A and B are shown apart, each in its own frame.
Chain A
């Protein structure tokens, strides 16, 4: 029986938010014969979410990291564990999301071709404006809100780049997955409710976005893009900011990267 492991990275989340998510996971209609398990990985400073998570998701679902290594690093650890124990797919799922009852079924159906490495769900009600092929689902990059990873893609890429603490790691993983010969696809019928439009652009978030943009530019060989965002970062912080040297991508793979559309990394439909 195929096995899908869902990984949720927590950081001081509101119990009501987790309750909404857990209820939507319980209400899901997974594909016939697909076994689904859930694991919550808590990067909070303490383990006070443990009883909440255990009550909502079950006795073996919780793990406290004791530190916050970042979104990508935490999912990487969970993916190594999942694929090491025979999982056929791993779903990175944001804790503030709500799954449509058919989301898992649609993600799994789209992921079932052997050349597919990543599949993302459509965010709802505000769909991400990046394009996808309406018939085949191919997309320039997959969003990390509900992102299904197949073992082949994980083995070929090693998962998320842990140099990106937050923002842009999904773009980078998608580009590397495509460079490795796998497809990045959107499952049009998979909806995941994720409402972030009302959140203000905090200074911390803005700086993280700028840093990730500069990092991606450097990694994928667009120095002009990297310098542009480094200048912005310097202007915002009022001092020189050192961007750590990323592992540089081979020249042949760089054609996949798209820096022509700012930090959207793809043409926008609106």
Chain B
């Protein structure tokens, strides 16, 4: 019996792409230092595929309970809950780190994330065209997060703040979050992006200041990498000065 804290993740399939479920499940069964219950909501036609995936992944022997269907409420004994859309991926330590943040002051933990633009390929997994960093404020609002339909995949909600019903459609995700958000603090998890969200937006143009912040966040990451590739010596010097200045500040 695992003594690790239990997290319930509800995984919803919104696309017709079976690989989205497959990759999200592989990401979930390789999460570290947590015990997981995963419920999977799929269409009737995809139930057979989902059951097959559960059987495949259960052989990896991790502390994960996998089941197909939407439960009436969250599993008993669960410390926190998350709702993922198929295609969401996370670093292996994402849920454990988010749970630490939740437990500090009962906050809803929001992990830094990237948007992943994919292209469908017949008979193959989607091809990842690009990943871009999203700006995440210290206490993210629903307006800031909700521009991504799959935004709940980057959030971990303490069970006592989670609405007792389990959301399915994109509208339900927003309603569910709108019930959870006002009940207490919301806090960003410190560190680099640990979640990749499938970019399911129908409109990708600039609509708000948050979109500009996203672009700047990506630029801040890509700029040094561009310099590193083009002029590694200059990059090395600048990096040295940066660390020297940071060291000097302490």
Q: Which of A27, A125, A262, A268 contacts B91 (CB 8 A)?
A: A125
Assess the A125–B196 pair: CB atoms within 8 A: yes
**A239 contacts B by Cβ under 8 Å:** no
Q: Which of B89, B114, B119 contacts A134 (CB 8 A)?
A: B119
Q: List 6 A-B contacts (CB under 8 A).
A: A24-B60, A98-B60, A126-B91, A193-B92, A236-B236, A262-B228
**B181 contacts A by Cβ under 8 Å:** no
Beyond known contacts A27-B61, A195-B92, A262-B228: 14 more, CB 8 A cutoff: A23-B60, A24-B60, A27-B56, A101-B59, A102-B56, A125-B30, A125-B196, A126-B91, A127-B128, A134-B127, A189-B124, A197-B91, A236-B236, A262-B232
Residues in chain B near residue A261, CB distance under 8 A: 229
* CB of B235 to closest CB in A, whole Å: 9
Q: Which residues of B contact A (CB under 8 A)?
A: 19, 23, 26-27, 30, 56-57, 59-61, 89-93, 114, 119, 121, 124-125, 127-132, 192, 196, 225, 228-230, 232-233, 236
Identify which of A42-50, A82-90, A224-232 touches chain B.
A224-232
> A232-B233, A262-B232 are known contacts. Are A125 and B124 too (CB-CB below 8 A)?
no
Assess the B121–A100 pair: CB atoms within 8 A: no
Instruction: Report the bound CA distance from A198 to B191 in whole Å.
Output: 11
* CB of A218 to closest CB in B, whole Å: 16
Residues in chain A near residue B114, CB distance under 8 A: 270
**A124 contacts B by Cβ under 8 Å:** yes
Instruction: Report the bound CA distance from A56 to B47 in whole Å.
Output: 34
Assess the A23–B26 pair: CB atoms within 8 A: no
Assess the B229–A262 pair: CB atoms within 8 A: yes
Instruction: Report the bound CA distance from A134 to B121 in whole Å.
Output: 7
Assess the B130–A232 pair: CB atoms within 8 A: no
Top 5 nearest A-B pairs (CB, nearest first) are: A262-B229, A27-B59, A134-B127, A270-B131, A101-B56
Assess the A228–B229 pair: CB atoms within 8 A: no
**A14 contacts B by Cβ under 8 Å:** no
Residues in chain A near residue B225, CB distance under 8 A: 268
* CB of B60 to closest CB in A, whole Å: 5
**A191 contacts B by Cβ under 8 Å:** yes
Assess the B233–A231 pair: CB atoms within 8 A: yes
> A125-B196, A198-B93 are known contacts. Are A188 and B127 too (CB-CB below 8 A)?
yes
Binary B-proximity of A1-24 (CB < 8 A = 1, otherwise 0): 000000000000000000000011
* CB of A216 to closest CB in B, whole Å: 14
Instruction: Report the bound CA distance from A102 to B196 in whole Å.
Output: 22
Assess the A124–B132 pair: CB atoms within 8 A: no
Instruction: Report the bound CA distance from A228 to B236 in whole Å.
Output: 12
CB closest residue in chain B, given A270: B131
**A242 contacts B by Cβ under 8 Å:** no
**A235 contacts B by Cβ under 8 Å:** yes
Binary B-proximity of A113-137 (CB < 8 A = 1, otherwise 0): 0000000001011110000001100
Residues in chain A near residue B59, CB distance under 8 A: 23, 26-27, 101
Q: Which of B26, B119, B229, B232 contacts A232 (CB 8 A)?
A: B232
